[in-house]
Structures are given as C-alpha cells and as structure tokens.
Amino acid sequence: MNDHPPDFRSADPSFSQAWTRIGEEIRSFRSDLQELPVLPSLAASDIQAELARLQSAEPLDLTDTVEAVIDLLRRGIVQVTSPRYFGLFNPDVLESGILADALVALYNPQLAAWSHAPAVNEIERVVLGRFSAALGLEPESTHANFTSGGAEANLSAVLSAIAHHFPNSTETGIGGTAARPAIYLSGESHDSFVKIARMTGLGTRALRKVPITERATLDVNALDKMIGADRHAGLYPLLIIATAGTTSAGVIDPIPDIADVAAEYGSWLHVDAAWGGAAALSPKLRPELSGIERADSITWDAHKWLSVPMAAGMFFCRHPAAVRRAFGVSTVYMPGPSDARPDPYSTTAQWSRRAIGLKVFMSLTHLGEDGYARIIEQQAATGRRLRTRLVDAGWITVNDTPFPLVCFTHADIREGRVSTTDLLERIYDGGRVWISEVVFAGQERVLRACITSYRTNDADLDCLIEELEAARLTSAATR
C-alpha cells in the first residue's frame, strides 16, 4: 500500500511504467486497428465481470489498471477511429489532438476567466478568428467560442436569438413576452432542437416543421408560405434553421434562398454546419457553403470533420451584444476582466471549462490550413469513389451531396427480398465494418456510409463492398 499520496513527481516506478505502457499503446493501437474488429467483442456481462474484478481487489497498481482499461477499450467499444468505421461523423483523430488533450489533462487550465489562462484563451481566440474568416465572417466583430459540441452551440444560437429579439425576456422569461415565438426547421434538422425547445422554455410546439424536397433539403417555397400563414395566425418567426450537411444524408439546405426569407421576415438565421462546416477550409468545397456568411449564427464541430477528439464544438455569432445579454453575469468570486478580453464564463453556457481549443490549434499548426484542406478534400474524393463503386457493384445511391456521405439501397431491398436491418445484422456479426441505416427524405429506409476517417483508402472501400455483397447474397439465400 502507498503511504504517500500518489504523485507523478515522486519516484513511484508504477507511474513511469504506466506512461511507458500508454506511450506504447498510442504507437501500436493505430496499426493494430487494421486487424481489430470495428464492433465490440465483449458482451455487457463480460464488461461487468471485469469491472467487478477491478473493484473487488485491493487498490491496484496503476500499470495493472492501465492494462485492464486498454483491454476494455480495445474489445469493448465501437472503434470509431477505424478506417472501416463508416459511421456517424465520429472522426478518426489526428495525433496532434491526442497530444494536446494529454497536455490539457496535465496542466488543467481553467478557461472560465480570461485571466486564469491567458495563453490558452488567446490560443482559442486565434483559432476561432481564423475559422470566422474562413466562414466569411468579420473576425473583429464576430463572437465565437468553443463548446462541448454542436448541441451546445445550437442551444447558444437559440438563446442568443431570444435575447436579441426579446431583450426583456432575460428577466421576464420567455413566458413574459406577448409574442408566440416559432422556430422553422425541417424534419432533417438535428434533433438537438427538440431538447433545446424544452430547455429554453419555448416548448416543442414552437418547432414548425417545414416540408422537404425530394432531395431532402428544406423546401424554401413551403417555408415562405408557412411563415406568411403563421404570422397571420399570430406567431412570431424568431428563428430559421438551415442545415449544411444533414446528419442523415449530408445534404445542404439552400442557404442563400433561406437567407432571403429570413431577411424578408426579420428572422434570425442559424446555419447548423456541425459536420459540413469543415468545407470552409477547402477552396474547392467552400462554394458549397455559399450564403453561410449571411447567417446570424453558425454551429461547426471541430470533433467531426476536423478530426480532433471529442468534445469540441464551435459557436459563431454576428451579434456579440445578444450573446452577452444571453449569458452575461457578474459574480463576487470571479476575478474581474484584466483588460478588454471578455471572460468566457460570462459569454458562454459553460462555467468551468477545459481547454477545448488546444487540440484544434495544434492540429492547425501541424497541418496548416492547406494540410487541413487536403485531408478534407481527400475524404470528399474517397466518398465519390465509394459512390461509383457502389453503383458499379449494382447498388443504387439515393442522396445528392458533395460531402462524403452515401445513402444507398439495392433492388433486392426495394423489392422486399432482403431488409436493411437484416443486412446490418449480418455485417455487424462479421465485425469488419460499421455502417448504419436511415430513413431517407422521410420516405425510404436505406443504408448510410460516411467517410469519417482521413485514412480510409480503396482497400477499405473494397472491404465494405465485399461485406455488403456477402450479406445481401446470404440474406437473399436464406429467405
């Protein structure tokens, strides 16, 4: 037993051993990943048994704990960093981000107040300034902050829009306004808005679901008509949500046309580019986001297509005064601002906050904006090759997007000979690749494969197609 508190400054050999082991794992995991199943091989009962063992023992040597946790992580999670995880925007991570997160844990900088972590607060401002410029926003007059993720960034947008349109509501509550505020969004928008409607006190009835086109984009004519009719009925068109890269199908709503409607009715325009925002860094893909610079606020997650570890969302807003109104607070126990730099605790939803931006900064300095553009474009190109290969193998693609997300089906599925669910079960049993299913455009159940790793190559695409074909043929044969 230790008779002194564990301390890495002490000469305790178990610390240096544990570090050596973790260093080894960081080096070997990525090459071993090629051979590891993408799906977990441990059952819940295996995990519980292992946890019981770890807890019933005397305090464990740190190296033993590290060993046990590595085993749980290798066999007990979906390997989202695998090039064969064609999944839900959870990225393969750049080494720079792993290093940054280790440093953050070591120094534990507190980003609530500017004066507690000037160096890291400035690092975040620099990164957000560059990204604001990439989005076409004026960095000097744009408010931007890192968030836990896209859901928090979307929440920040709705709270800022409320504070902007109903300044008194920060005192009276939303119930104190005579207006009946409404949020316009399509069924393809992210479901975080359902929670946000509840959290903000707007209620889910404030969510007005705009019809979509056949391509699963928000139907602008329907939006215009709906707002017109709603205004007659006494609703207040507070906010319109456009999505640039929907979660299901990766499609981009027509941002310029939606911006026109927002301007016509004086509504706040929020563009949810949680995944697709990365296109702003690529000269080739940037035009796909055209109009985004007209948004009042934008969500963009670094922990998706920018390939940094979770959790790293970003919120951009052209109305800093509205953000201060939404989040501003002063306390007796926090240090006052040391200069003109705002304190994050009084301009964001979080209070104590870790250094989210360091992993983005270190990845940006390591790759450069050009390097980032290259890996983003390379993933887009891999997505296009996947599309072609699926069609060549007899599959039918159904979504239309420049981003690397393919929704697809097969005549065997359309004609009822096999089901997407059955195919997925067979594919998951093999454990070699991970894909998912979605309902496309509210109509048709299809398969979904997204290029989430910058290391996914043609051999990985071959593997996916082999798995699909094998699942389809065995499924059809057992009917």
- In the complex, which residues of this chain contact ligand PLP (CB under 6 A)? 89, 149-151, 154, 190, 192, 243, 247, 272, 274-275, 301, 313
How open is the CA angle 305-308-312, to the nearest 5 degrees? 90
The residue (of 358 and 468) whose beta carbon lies closer to ligand PLP is 358
* Distance (Å) of CA 451 to CA 3, 150, 302, 400: 51, 19, 16, 15
The residue (of 151 and 279) whose beta carbon lies closer to ligand PLP is 151
The residue (of 63 and 363) whose beta carbon lies closer to ligand PLP is 363
User: Nearest approach, Cβ of 272 to ligand PLP (angstroms)?
Assistant: 5
User: Nearest approach, Cβ of 301 to ligand PLP (angstroms)?
Assistant: 5
Distance of alpha carbon 445 from alpha carbon 405, whole angstroms: 15
User: Nearest approach, Cβ of 22 to ligand PLP (angstroms)?
Assistant: 26
The residue (of 288 and 301) whose beta carbon lies closer to ligand PLP is 301
The residue (of 92 and 272) whose beta carbon lies closer to ligand PLP is 272
Which residues lie across from 408 on neighbouring strands? 397, 447
The residue (of 151 and 464) whose beta carbon lies closer to ligand PLP is 151
User: Nearest approach, Cβ of 65 to ligand PLP (angstroms)?
Assistant: 29
User: Nearest approach, Cβ of 348 to ligand PLP (angstroms)?
Assistant: 15
The residue (of 238 and 405) whose beta carbon lies closer to ligand PLP is 405
The residue (of 305 and 345) whose beta carbon lies closer to ligand PLP is 305
Question: Edge to edge, what strands does the sheet with 207-210 contain?
Answer: 143-147, 313-317, 297-301, 268-272, 235-243, 180-186, 207-210
Q: Number of helices (H) and strands (E) in the chain: give both, helices first.
A: 15, 11
Q: Where are the alpha helices (DSSP H) in 166-240?
A: 169-172, 192-199, 220-232
The residue (of 278 and 418) whose beta carbon lies closer to ligand PLP is 278
User: Nearest approach, Cβ of 363 to ligand PLP (angstroms)?
Assistant: 17
Cα 290 to chain centroid, rounded: 21
Residue 254's nearest CA partner among 210, 291, 201, 308 is 291
How does DSSP classify residue 355? -
Distance of alpha carbon 76 from alpha carbon 376, whole angstroms: 29
The single residue listed with the structure tokens 């985004």 is 292
Which residues lie across from 439 on neighbouring strands? 445
User: Nearest approach, Cβ of 205 to ligand PLP (angstroms)?
Assistant: 21
Residue closest to ligand PLP when measured from CB atoms = 150
- CB atoms < 10 A from the CB of 425, how many? 12
User: In 3-state terms, what secondary structure has residue 146?
Assistant: strand
The residue (of 309 and 337) whose beta carbon lies closer to ligand PLP is 309
User: Nearest approach, Cβ of 244 to ligand PLP (angstroms)?
Assistant: 8
User: In 3-state terms, what secondary structure has residue 430?
Assistant: helix
The residue (of 89 and 236) whose beta carbon lies closer to ligand PLP is 89
Rg of the chain on CA atoms, in Å = 24
User: Nearest approach, Cβ of 124 to ligand PLP (angstroms)?
Assistant: 17
Distance of alpha carbon 86 from alpha carbon 80, whole angstroms: 8
Residues contacting residue 233 through CB under 8 Å, at least 6 positions apart: none
Q: What are phi and psi of 182, to 5 degrees?
A: -130, 150
Tokens at 118, concatenated: 């000037």
User: Nearest approach, Cβ of 217 to ligand PLP (angstroms)?
Assistant: 13
User: Nearest approach, Cβ of 43 to ligand PLP (angstroms)?
Assistant: 27
Distance of alpha carbon 42 from alpha carbon 75, whole angstroms: 6
